[in-house]
Amino acid sequence: MRQNILANSIKIVLAPVIGILVALRLGLDFPISAGTVAILTIQPTKRETIQVTLGRLYAFAVALVLSSIIFKIFGVNYTGFLCFLALFIFVCQLLSWKVAMVTNIVLISHFVSVGEMSSATIRNEIMIFFIGATCGIIANLHLRKRVDYIEQLKRETDEQIVWILHLMSKRVLDKDIPEYNEACFNALKKSIRHAKNVAEENYNNQFKKNDKYDIQYIAMRDRQYLVLYEMYKCVRQINTTPHTANTISDFLKKMSLEYGRENDGQSIMKDFHKMDIDMKSRPLPMERKEFEDRARLFNLMRNIEEFIEIKMDFARKTIKTNKK
């Protein structure tokens, strides 16, 4: 964390300094503005940096056209600048260019400072913009996909799910399992949220638009988390041990052992269907409590089926994407 803060601080300092030095070297007016543009260009990821820069470029072109028309009518003075300000802010709000307002307003204000809008002053502002934007983009070129880190986060998330399935297999038979509680799911939810943020950051630090595997993988685990929590709510209501509980417990244990990234869910689903057919063929219990718990186990089985289907659906889409 400290290394990231230090690296970000260094690049945020170097980008404007280099921008200002380049502008000074070229003999441009208002060289400090090149540094300001560089700072405002730097965004958390490469993709965001490019998107923000393009948005500001479009807005800058519009600002030049608007200011040239308004200054021609009212003159290059404060009255003309205020008219430009009102119209440009309206256009930015209309086109959702809020991030581009400050940068371009500052650049256009330079015309008022020098008292003219000539080809030389226009060229000066264009150079200031491109020098600052280029320095800001270059400052973020070092950002890369953190492959090892996202793999670690995915592995940790998978291990937590495996642990919950293991505890669930025990809880079906024994209601006194102290480790099986909300804390398991709070930790898993936190892990998934963090992994999702890192996956999105990684995606935005590369220019391959189709490389969304990590984002999709975490989204799949997030869906499984929701189903897993529904399974938890079913299991915690079970007070007896129906004769079908042992079969489901064994199946949950099998799921935890075979649970893995490369498992497409096909084999485990076949085993589930066999168990489902076997369960339906068994006689209904005579006692009310056991009947109620048998119903809860039935709901649990439907959730287990959905849990497996989520992984199967992800595996099919992944194979289809790879073929493309």
| The predicted structure's pLDDT at residue 18 | 93
b/e string for 119-136 if b means 16 or more Cβ within 10 A?
eebeebbebbbebbbbbb
Report the half-sphere exposure of 242 (CA within 13 A, side-chain side): 26
- The Cα 100–Cα 108 span in angstroms is 12
Higher pLDDT, 208 or 94: 94
| The predicted structure's pLDDT at residue 322 | 53
Give the global pTM. Answer: 0.71
- The Cα 211–Cα 324 span in angstroms is 12
| The predicted structure's pLDDT at residue 70 | 95
What does the angle CA 141 – CA 143 – CA 148 come to, to the nearest 5 degrees? 150
| The predicted structure's pLDDT at residue 308 | 93
- The Cα 178–Cα 279 span in angstroms is 29
Report the half-sphere exposure of 161 (CA within 13 A, side-chain side): 30
- Give the residue-averaged pLDDT of 205-230: 86
pLDDT tier at 210, thresholds 50, 70, 90: low
Evaluate if residue 324 carries a pLDDT over 60.
Answer: no
pLDDT tier at 260, thresholds 50, 70, 90: confident
| The predicted structure's pLDDT at residue 323 | 44
pLDDT tier at 11, thresholds 50, 70, 90: confident
- The Cα 313–Cα 317 span in angstroms is 6
pLDDT in tens, 55-96: 999 999 999 999 999 999 999 999 999 999 999 999 999 988
- The Cα 266–Cα 258 span in angstroms is 11
* CB distance 273 to 225 below 8 Å: no
Domains of the chain: 2-139 (no CATH), 147-323 (1.20.120.940)
pLDDT in tens, 271-294: 999 998 887 777 766 667 767 778
Q: What mean pLDDT is reported for the chain?
A: 87
CB neighbour list of residue 248: distance below 8 Å, 6 or more residues apart: 172, 275, 297, 300, 301, 304
Rg (CA), the chain: 30
Higher pLDDT, 103 or 291: 103
pLDDT in tens, 166-186: 999 998 888 777 777 888 899
pLDDT tier at 207, thresholds 50, 70, 90: low
| The predicted structure's pLDDT at residue 90 | 93
For residue 248 the two structure tokens come to 């489901």
